[in-house]
Structure 1
Amino acid sequence: MAKITYIEHNGTKHEVEVKPGMTVMEGARDNGVPGIDADCGGACACSTCHVYVAKEWVEKLPAKDPMEEDMLDFAWNPDPETSRLTCQIKVTEALDGLVVNIPEKQI
């Protein structure tokens, strides 16, 4: 299991255990974390699971693929360095301690 901390825009923290093989989006959905809507169900066809990854984690995550880059163009207030779609981040033991910040709103 990997412990992931989701921080809402208002500062409320949700620290949850997520099984390897799931996505960060599925971890939020299955644990009732608000603010990550995932309207497309994880198909990388919307940007409602957009988060800002804590800066210390940016280089530790796999690179964004072109489809994720394209979908981030539709996210609310994306940051070129830290914005990610949680449906595209597969959880591994190496992600234990990952921190993501949920934007004020999604699209």
Structure 2
Amino acid sequence: MRIVKLSAAILAALFLSATAAAATITQEGSGIGKDGEIKVVFEDGKIKNVDILKQQENPVLSQKVFTDLKDEIVKTDSTELDVIAGAIYSSLGRIASQQAAQVAQAAK
């Protein structure tokens, strides 16, 4: 079920492009069964910043997800990234949340 939801988010993100307007999107998601929330700032159709507003993942295992993965998403303006070893489900949840935020931005 989780894979189907993730696949749907990936497909939607691939088919929709971001608008040129600046916007901030707040998006909920889940990692390894825990809920979380991110805030994504878009500017000129690109991802400018990502903030973790709420997370309930294991802090030791998810630290790289919330730092390295966030930095890569902003740097590459993409969610086509490898997951963090040892934090696969946290990474997938984080990427899926980001993709959902991009879909929400494109729908505006």
Given the two structures, how large is their TM-score scaled by the length of structure 2?
0.30
Higher relative contact order (CA 8 A, sep 6+): 1
